[in-house]
Every structure is written in structure tokens, then in C-alpha cells.
A and B are shown apart, each in its own frame.
Chain A
Amino acid sequence: MKEVTLEVNGKKVTKQIQDHTLLSTFVRDQLNLTGTHIGCDTSQCGACVVHVDGKSVKSCTLLVADIDGSKVTTIEGLSQNGELHPMQAAFKKHHGLQCGYCTPGMIMSSVDLLQNKKNPSDEEIREWLEGNICRCTGYQNIVAAVKEAAKNS
């Protein structure tokens, strides 16, 4: 067991964890932040993407023990003061989600894309999201949503 302190969605949390605790299970099971989803066991699907120190990462690939002291933002921490983040609003406007399961990871990943590139082309959006699998939407409305968010950011 090891004690770690993280800043999660703006709040400091100190918890006892096992050495092998993954960030994905930590936020779900220990912090009850169930918006981060687990869709595979091979770090392929991207449903668990969160931000660690501002960058998107598949939370199933990180040991909590390795990120002691980091700032973590999950989907629950994206909207501020009750206002949807422009990416969240764009996903709603463009019907960029259906069952909603991949959506938190998809949004967190897309937000990071715009941090790296202000006005990505369709092709750049599709390439960036290659690590996020969606089975419902066929991706087209997700691409439209990211473009809209780029316009409004």
C-alpha cells in the first residue's frame, strides 16, 4: 500500500492505494467518478481518457503510484460553474453521441486535440481520434462537433 495525493477536478485527495492500482479503477472505485468508463482490457478503446497535468491519457495505462502529486481532470471536472465546456455543448448540438459510453473519453481526447491544434482539419481530427472507438455514431457527428468546438473555443 502507498499513500498518494492528487488534485482531482480541482480538489486535493489523499488515498491509500495498492502499488498496481490503475488510474481508471482508482477514479471509478475510490473516488466514485464513474464517468470514466472501461471498455476494453488492452488500452485500445479510449473510453477511459482523462487529463493528467493537462494532457489526455488513457487512464488504464497509468499506475496511480506513478503520478503522485499530479493534477487529474475527469469528464466530471470539465464543465465549470455549471456551464458546459464548448466541447460538451458541441457534442450535444451535433449529436456526437448515442449510447454515451465512449463519450467521456471521446470528449476528453478532443479537448486535448484543440489544445494542440486550434483549427484541425477533418483528417487531423479523424487521425487524432484513432485511439477512441465509438460503435454507435460512425464518427461523422463527432468530427462535426470537434470542428464546432474549435470554432467556439
Chain B
Amino acid sequence: MIGSKVERTEDKKFITGKGRYTADITLHGQSYAFFIRSPHARAKIKKVDIAKALKAPGVVSILTGEDIVKDKIGGLIAGWKIVSKDGTDMKLPAHPPLAHEQVNYVGDHVAVVIAESLEEAKNAAELVTVDYKVLKAVVNTADAMNSENIYDGIDKNLCFDWELGDKAKTDEAFSKADQIVEIKLTNNRLVPNAMEPRASIGDYNSSSDQLTLYTTSQNPHLTRLVISAFNGVHPEHKFRVVAPDVGGGFGSKIYPYAEDVVVAWAAKKIGRPVKWVCERTDSFLSDCHGRDHVTHAKLAVQKDGKVTGLHVDTIANLGGYGSLFATVTPTYLYAPLILGLYDIPTAYCNVKAVFTNTAPVDAYRGAGRPEATYLIERIMDQAARELGMDRAEFRKKNFITKFPHQQCLVHNIDSGDYNAHFNKALELADYKGFAKRKAESAAKGKLRGIGFSTYIEACGIAPSSVVMSIGAGVGLWESAEVRFNATGNISVFTGAHSHGQGHATTFAQIVSDKLGVPMENIDLVHGDTDKGPFGMGTYGSRSLAVGGSAITKACDKIIEKGKKVAAHMLEANPDEIEFKDGEFIVPNSNKKKTIGEIAFACYLPGTYGEIKSPLPEGVEPGLKETAFYDPINFSFPAGSHICEVEVDPDTGETKVVTYSCVDDFGNLINPMIVEGQVHGGLAQGIGQALYENAHYDETGQLVTASYMDYTMPRADNFPEFRIEYTCTPATSNPLGVKGCGEAGAIASPPCVMNAVIDAIGTDVSMPATSEKVWSALKNKTNSEKKVA
């Protein structure tokens, strides 16, 4: 089954409307929660008056920040400690689930109204009066350090001032460079926009003291751990978190939000189920956003086109608080990747992370790696232009060619063949024919440009010993349990979570091949902390590389035990038993047992008169194995993307007309699913380049807080993507897989922007909207006139 385009087993429920998302769940006696959010970006809360609202029809309870303090409910956490270059720990503000002194972004949680119906909750919310003292908001990323301090004790709004790399060596490389290429970039703020808005339902049984939280999570075990250990809502062993069908995440559902904590706590407090479903505008306001970097970078280059050094200064906006993965995203997930897939001997990266009065920023599809790739691929283009070299040749000249390769910053890349996918991409895109197509476009009055982008990711996060040594609050292994039932079919439990990735199919393909059991006899169980072992969830293209490897390891243990049992039943030596295609065989004989027979025997080990127990002495009954897999290294997917755009100079309208990519994801388990992941990533990346932007005005109001104002990519925005692969298997996991979920979103923004800049011959920032492209062209014409 591995390597086959198997249709997804999970699809039927979704195409017939039988998916069960959190908002679809209705519990007996449930009440409805509505959150009162701050309308101000920065304000002191003087008073929250709920007296009138409490008397409104249908109101069950109204909880505020004062109740959070009274009940000692802990704050939301940032899970990764970053140490500044001066040796001090990062600085974080308190992040209570309901604000009680200060609100720090529009959408910040102030109170929750719980009523018999949603309508009654909303009506009562109108009667809650909050007396604010409005303060001047800090909004702009680049200016944040020069603005008023948002928090006492956090000087210059600086969370940390962190560095990576050898500054002295890099300075030296620049002092010896033939040419220094500079670039200033803004990586625009995005809203992840999973199509399913967040939702949670808390349900408490006071007799058994069991609390259940149904929530839209990519990571239910972590949600339980955090809400239990840090928010202190309920002990972990009596707390169940269920993430049923989840409608997309893209990073925005990795961690618990304030609403999850409040709903769980409120359900316990009022003794009734509490249901909350986010509306889209509230999603825009309160889901964590992505990206938002301002960067100044320099590249040291020799006359012959060899890059000798890279120096990067980045300001990363964290928003109003430090979200769970917020601090690792612009540091360890970003800086080590700024080298791209080039052999650059020295580099230095400084990241200053700032707080502003905007929604918290956290991991969004690619998390750090799109920002890194955008920077290196834009500056490589700029350098080639300044040197007068062909942009493709310049890249090839600097590729890493020997593996394993220890980069000058962090990563040791186990495998790859960068020329292979780049050359294949040049062919797929018909680079040679570009001049002709450009002329054809020109004949139609259009400007055509071609853009290149190559990328490397660090996926399969991650070796626990490595991540914990650099500040992670948890190890990032993954778990699996492969459980044979007595009748020979299999339940596979994984700590990963599927919210569109098709794990039920891909993981079953692996088990089917490993154990020789047909796909239809394998069921994947995930998303429920009461079922299966603790797991670390799905993000960072880790599910297959880490979770799939855990499943592989559990299957190996099953085979190992099966061999012992088969040997006993077949009166052979366990060492000589071979396992193939679901059968345990004694070589050079006709003696064999199917794995189904072994499973049956393991569950019915009794002796019946003449019949002896099939289990050898000392072997436990049952056939079920658990494995925890901790990878030995990250995996390093890489690829080459080439696109062409056409710009209408009269309107600035820019269309991607061709997009070709060749990716090396190592081995592919289900190429159909992989291709779908690439498509989706490309759409989000092209969305970032041309359409999407989360825009706050100077008072901190989110101007783009609906689909009327935030441009989501639509079907007619894209050409048909051309996708091919090369393969160098990963050596860091038994499946040889590298991860594919984020590649498209990582590679495509610089690819498209390099094409746009090639087309219009001047710089423009993301998103390259019609207005911006038109203005850039106009400014270019005006300045050319002045020069003339």
C-alpha cells in the first residue's frame, strides 16, 4: 500500500454531511457562552458592571476577570523559553484567560455571559458595562521599541533580544566581500483562517468529578496538560479532552485559547455543559495570527557569485501576549533556516521580539520557515540582479552539494540533491521558453515575470533532547499503540491529530504493509485523551515522520511478539521464524500461521483438555504494543519552485499564470494526499504574496476582520499547479519520509514576489495587490522621467 494513491477512508462521512465537528455536538442541558471582548487595543479596566445583565432573561452566569483571580485560574503560557543575548530570560506579561486589569488588543477577553440560549447570552452581553481608561496603542512592529511601554517591567516592549551565529566571523566575511547586497523586507501579518471557526464545549459530572472538554484542537493531549497543569482547572487524570473532526488548523489550533480554559472552568463552576462557538469576526480578532516580521538583511558576495556571509536583523511582532509557540517561531524555527539550501560559510541573525497591542502571533503554516525562505530567496534574487548573473545559475552556484552537510548555524542536513530538483523544475517550467512567452505577453500589453524559489525546511519536530536544551517546555516525541483485536482486526491509536491531513488513510497504509492486514481491517483512533497514549499532536509536518515512525515501531514490536508465539505454536525456534505478508513462516517447511491466527491465540491462551496454550511460558496474553518514538534528527524536505506572473500595467492586476514545483519529501506514502498538501500550501503562500493582509489601523483596530475585508484566495485566483518530485529518503526515521504539509506555503511567497518584481522591474511589498503594483509602476515611471 505504501506509495499508492489510496482514496481516503475518512472521506465518506465528510461528503455525506456526517462529519462531527465540535459545533455539531449538542449536550443535554447545555448552556451557551458569549464572550465580551475589548473594543480597545489598549486600556485599563476600571470597572465591569454585570448587575443589570445578570437579571436579563435566560442568564445563567456571568464571569469576569475577578472570578478568575478568586478561583486562582492560572494564565495562558508561552511554552518555549528564549534567552536574550545578554543572558537574561525572555520577559512575558501575565495572560489571564479573562482580563482583570488591562486589555491589550481588540478582541481581548473581558467577560463571559452564559445563558439558556445564544441569543439571550448576546442580549445580556449588551447590558454589561465596562468602564475603560483608553490608552495609546502600540501597533507598528518596527516602531514598537520606540513606543510607550505596554507593560510595567517590560522595557521597550521587548520580549527578548536574541542572536544566533558567529557575529565576528560574519563581520569579517562582510569586510572581505566584493559586494554587499542589502534588502529590507516586511513579512505581512496573516490570519490562518481555518474554515471551521474555533469552538469548545465544557461538560462536568459532579458525581464522578469528571470534566470533559470538546474542542477544535490539533493537539488535545497538550490542551489537557496545559489547562490542568498551568491553568489549574482540573486534575489531568479526571479531565478528558476530545478534539473530534476538526476543520483545518494550520497552526492556529495547536494550543488552548482563553475560551477553552474559561469554558472548561465555567462548566465545572455552574455544573452544566457550556457551549461556545466562535463567529468569524471574533476569529479574525482572537485567533492567533501569523508572520509579521520586519527584516533588514545583508549578503556578502564574491565577484564570481559565491555567497560568503549573511547578516540578518529581524523585529518579530508577538502581539499583545506571548502565545504558546510564539517565542520559538521567530527564533529556532526561523533563524537556522535563513541559509536556505545554500552553502554559506558564516551567518549571524539577531531577532528582537516585541509586544504590541494586536492579536497574539503564533505558528502559522510553516512557522518561521516561510519568513526565513522569503528573506533568503528575495536577497538571492536581488544579489543576482546586482551582479548581473542569471538568477537560476546564481542559485546553483551556491547550492550545498554534499551530504550530510553541517550548516554554519544549527542543522546537520542528512540528505538531499538540490541540483536534481532545481534542474527538473527548470524543465517543468520550460525556463528556456520564457523569453518567448514574455514577448507574447508583451504583445497583449502585459508584463510577464518569472520567479524562482528554493527552500529547505526542518520538519519532524523534533529530537526531544535538542528542543529541550534550547528552551522547549516539553519533549516532542510521538506515541502510538497498535492493538490487535481478538478477531484479527486492528485499532491503531496515535497521539497525532488529523484535521484534514488524512492520517486514517496514510497511517493505515503503513500498518497494512507492515502487518499484512487489509486496510479495511485497520481503524485509526485519535483526538481523544481517554483513548490511546499521551501524544504531542500535529504541526510542523511532524505526523508522519514522528507519529508514523512510532506506529512503525509498535508494529515491529507486534511482529517480535508474534514470532515468539508462532514459534511456540509451530514448534520452531523464534529466531528462525520469518514474517512476510501477514504470515509467520518456518523457512523450508509448509508450517505457517497468519497474523490473525496469532492474534486470536494471544487472546485465548487457555488450555482445553488436549489443547495446549499457544503462548510460550512467560509471554503475556494479548497482542497490543505501545511505542514512543523520539527522532534522532529533524527531517529536511527541500524543493525548487518556479512561477510566472502576468501584470496588467493599466490596473496593476497580477495573476499567477503558471506554477511549477519539484519537491523532495523523501519517500511518499500516499502521493495523492501529498499532492493535496502541496496544493493547499501553495494557495496559502500565493495568498500571502498577492492577496492576504491583516491590517491594523494606528489605533489598533483590525480593519480586515471579515471575509469582506480580508482577501481569501478563491478558486479563480490560481492556475493549475504542475507538481513533480525527486526523492532522497530521510535517514532520520525508519520510513524515510521528510514531511510535506508546509512546503507550498514556505516556497511560494518569494517565488511569486520574485516573479512580480521581475515583471515590473521595481520593488513591491506583500501582498502585491493591484493598487500596490499599479502605484509601484507609476512611481517607477515618474522616477525614470526625473532621471531623464
A binding-site residues for B, Cβ under 8 Å: 28, 32-42, 44-45, 47, 74-76, 78-79, 84, 88, 91-93, 95, 97-104, 107, 122-123, 125-127, 129-130, 132-143
Q: B250 touching A138 by the CB < 8 A rule?
A: no
Listed from nearest, the 7 A-B pairs whose CB atoms lie closest are A35-B17, A100-B14, A101-B247, A138-B679, A99-B500, A98-B500, A75-B17
B245 sits at the interface (CB 8 A): yes
- Can you list 10 A-B contacts with CB-CB less than 8 angstroms, sorted by A residue number? A76-B16, A76-B17, A91-B11, A127-B716, A129-B714, A133-B195, A135-B193, A137-B676, A139-B718, A141-B675
Whole-angstrom distance from the CB of A105 to the nearest CB of chain B?
Answer: 9
Whole-angstrom distance from the CB of B722 to the nearest CB of chain A?
Answer: 10
Question: Of B17, B712, B721, which one neighbours A138 at CB under 8 angstroms?
Answer: B721
B binding-site residues for A, Cβ under 8 Å: 7-8, 10-21, 23-24, 26, 193-197, 245-248, 250, 279-281, 499-502, 672-673, 675-676, 678-684, 706-708, 712, 714-716, 718, 720-721, 744
Roughly how many angstroms separate A11 CA and B18 CA in the complex, as a whole number? Answer: 18
Q: A143 touching B715 by the CB < 8 A rule?
A: yes
Q: A138 touching B16 by the CB < 8 A rule?
A: no
Question: Of B196, B683, B744, which one neighbours A39 at CB under 8 angstroms?
Answer: B196
Q: B19 touching A35 by the CB < 8 A rule?
A: yes
Question: Of B281, B683, B715, B721, which one neighbours A130 at CB under 8 angstroms?
Answer: B715
* Contact A133 B712, CB 8 Å, known A99-B246, A99-B499, A140-B679: yes
Q: A74 touching B195 by the CB < 8 A rule?
A: no
Roughly how many angstroms separate A90 CA and B314 CA in the complex, as a whole number? Answer: 46
Q: B679 touching A88 by the CB < 8 A rule?
A: no
Residues of B within 8 A of A76 (CB): 16-18
Question: Of B8, B21, B721, which one neighbours A37 at CB under 8 angstroms?
Answer: B21
Residues of A within 8 A of B14 (CB): 97, 100, 103-104
Residues of A within 8 A of B15 (CB): 75, 84, 88, 91-92, 97, 100, 103-104, 107
Roughly how many angstroms separate A98 CA and B8 CA in the complex, as a whole number? Answer: 9
Residues of B within 8 A of A35 (CB): 16-19
Q: B500 touching A125 by the CB < 8 A rule?
A: no
Question: Of B16, B245, B673, B679, which one neighbours A75 at CB under 8 angstroms?
Answer: B16
Whole-angstrom distance from the CB of A118 to the nearest CB of chain B?
Answer: 19
Residues of A within 8 A of B19 (CB): 35, 100-101
Whole-angstrom distance from the CB of A112 to the nearest CB of chain B?
Answer: 15
Q: A135 touching B248 by the CB < 8 A rule?
A: yes
Roughly how many angstroms separate A4 CA and B744 CA in the complex, as a whole number? Answer: 48
Roughly how many angstroms separate A41 CA and B247 CA in the complex, as a whole number? Answer: 17
Roughly how many angstroms separate A74 CA and B714 CA in the complex, as a whole number? Answer: 23
* Contact A95 B672, CB 8 Å, known A42-B708, A139-B718: yes
Q: B715 touching A142 by the CB < 8 A rule?
A: yes
Residues of A within 8 A of B714 (CB): 126, 129-130, 133, 139
Q: A45 touching B707 by the CB < 8 A rule?
A: yes
Roughly how many angstroms separate A60 CA and B500 CA in the complex, as a whole number? Answer: 25
Q: A135 touching B195 by the CB < 8 A rule?
A: yes
Roughly how many angstroms separate A129 CA and B106 CA in the complex, as a whole number? Answer: 33
Roughly how many angstroms separate A145 CA and B444 CA in the complex, as a whole number? Answer: 33
Q: B500 touching A41 by the CB < 8 A rule?
A: no
* Contact A92 B718, CB 8 Å, known A33-B17, A45-B195, A84-B15: no
Question: Of A99, A107, A127, A143, which one neighbours B247 at CB under 8 angstroms?
Answer: A99
| Nearest CB in chain A to that of B684: its residue | A135
Question: Of B16, B194, B281, which one neighbours A79 at CB under 8 angstroms?
Answer: B16
Question: Of B11, B17, B197, B708, which one neighbours A97 at CB under 8 angstroms?
Answer: B11
Q: A42 touching B280 by the CB < 8 A rule?
A: yes
Q: Which of A98, A104, A107, A138 has the most CB of B within 10 A?
A: A138
Whole-angstrom distance from the CB of B346 to the nearest CB of chain A?
Answer: 38
* Contact A122 B500, CB 8 Å, known A38-B23, A98-B680: no
Roughly how many angstroms separate A79 CA and B194 CA in the complex, as a whole number? Answer: 27
Roughly how many angstroms separate A106 CA and B10 CA in the complex, as a whole number? Answer: 17
| Nearest CB in chain B to that of A123: its residue | B716
Whole-angstrom distance from the CB of B3 to the nearest CB of chain A?
Answer: 16
Residues of B within 8 A of A34 (CB): 17, 20-21, 23-24
Whole-angstrom distance from the CB of A143 to the nearest CB of chain B?
Answer: 7
Q: Which of B16, B681, B720, B744 has the most CB of A within 10 A?
A: B16
| Nearest CB in chain B to that of A143: its residue | B715
Residues of A within 8 A of B716 (CB): 123, 126-127, 129-130
Residues of A within 8 A of B279 (CB): 41
Q: A40 touching B18 by the CB < 8 A rule?
A: no
| Nearest CB in chain A to that of B119: its residue | A18
| Nearest CB in chain B to that of A74: its residue | B17
Roughly how many angstroms separate A75 CA and B744 CA in the complex, as a whole number? Answer: 31
Given A40-B707, A88-B15, 17 new contacts (CB under 8 A): A37-B195, A42-B706, A42-B707, A76-B17, A92-B11, A97-B14, A98-B501, A98-B502, A101-B195, A133-B712, A134-B195, A136-B248, A138-B676, A138-B721, A139-B718, A140-B679, A143-B720
Residues of A within 8 A of B8 (CB): 92, 95
Q: A138 touching B718 by the CB < 8 A rule?
A: yes
Roughly how many angstroms separate A38 CA and B247 CA in the complex, as a whole number? Answer: 11
Q: Which of A40, A95, A98, A139 has the most CB of B within 10 A?
A: A98
| Nearest CB in chain A to that of B712: its residue | A133
Q: A98 touching B248 by the CB < 8 A rule?
A: yes
| Nearest CB in chain B to that of A91: its residue | B15
Residues of B within 8 A of A139 (CB): 679, 683, 714-715, 718
* Contact A100 B247, CB 8 Å, known A45-B195, A91-B15, A141-B676: yes
| Nearest CB in chain A to that of B26: its residue | A32
Roughly how many angstroms separate A1 CA and B23 CA in the complex, as a whole number? Answer: 25
Residues of A within 8 A of B17 (CB): 33-36, 74-76, 78, 104
| Nearest CB in chain A to that of B686: its residue | A138
Q: A136 touching B680 by the CB < 8 A rule?
A: yes
Roughly how many angstroms separate A95 CA and B502 CA in the complex, as a whole number? Answer: 10
| Nearest CB in chain A to that of B117: its residue | A29
Whole-angstrom distance from the CB of B80 to the nearest CB of chain A?
Answer: 26
Residues of A within 8 A of B16 (CB): 35, 75-76, 78-79, 84, 88
| Nearest CB in chain A to that of B499: its residue | A99
Residues of B within 8 A of A123 (CB): 716
Roughly how many angstroms separate A130 CA and B17 CA in the complex, as a whole number? Answer: 21
Roughly how many angstroms separate A97 CA and B708 CA in the complex, as a whole number? Answer: 24
Q: B718 touching A99 by the CB < 8 A rule?
A: no
Whole-angstrom distance from the CB of B276 to the nearest CB of chain A?
Answer: 14
Q: B706 touching A136 by the CB < 8 A rule?
A: no
Whole-angstrom distance from the CB of A51 to the nearest CB of chain B?
Answer: 13
Roughly how many angstroms separate A95 CA and B10 CA in the complex, as a whole number? Answer: 11
Q: A44 touching B708 by the CB < 8 A rule?
A: yes
Residues of B within 8 A of A132 (CB): 715
Roughly how many angstroms separate A76 CA and B14 CA in the complex, as a whole number? Answer: 10
Q: A133 touching B672 by the CB < 8 A rule?
A: no
Q: B7 touching A125 by the CB < 8 A rule?
A: no
